[in-house]
Amino acid sequence: MEIKEQSRGKVYLVGAGPGDPSLLTLKAKELIEKADILLYDYLCNPEILDWASDHCTKVYVGKRAAKAAYSQREIEEMLIAKATEGQLVVRLKGGDPFLFGRGGEEAEALKRAGIDFEIVPGVSSALAVPAYAGIPLTHRNWASMLTIVTGHEDPQKGTTAVDWEALAQIKGTKVILMGVERLASIAHSLLERGMNPQTPVAVITWGTLPNQKVVTLSLEDIVQGRHPGFDPPAVIVMGEVVRLREELQWFEKRPLYGQRVVVTRTKEGSARIAKKLQELGAEVLEIPTIRIVPISLGDEQIRRLKKIEAFYDWLLFTSPTGVEIFFGHYLRLTGDIRGLKGIKIGAIGLATAQAIGRYHLAVEVIPEKFTSMDLARCFLGQNIEGKHFLLPRSTMADEGIVKFLTSLGACVEQWALYDIQPETEDVRGGREKFQKEGADWILFASASSVKYWSRLNLSCPDTSLLPKIISIGPQTTRALQDLHQEVYRESKIHTIDGLIETLLEEVKRKKKD
List the catalytic residues. Answer: 41, 63, 178
**What is the phi/psi pair of residue 360, to 5°?**
60, 40
Nearest alpha-carbon partner for 76 in 61, 87, 86: 61
Nearest alpha-carbon partner for 392 in 360, 355, 428, 430: 355
Contacts of 349 (CB under 8 A, 6+ apart): 366, 367, 370, 494, 495
**What whole-number distance in Å separates Cα of residue 182 and Cα of residue 26?**
35
**What whole-number distance in Å separates Cα of residue 328 and Cα of residue 341?**
17
Q: What share of the chain is helix, strand, coil (3-state, %, to 5)?
A: 40, 20, 40
Q: Are 70 and 19 in contact (CB under 8 A)?
A: no
**Cα dihedral 302, 303, 308, 312 in deg (nearest 10):** -100
- Residue 188's identity, in one-letter code, is H
**What whole-number distance in Å separates Cα of residue 270 and Cα of residue 290?**
10
Nearest alpha-carbon partner for 416 in 392, 388, 446: 392
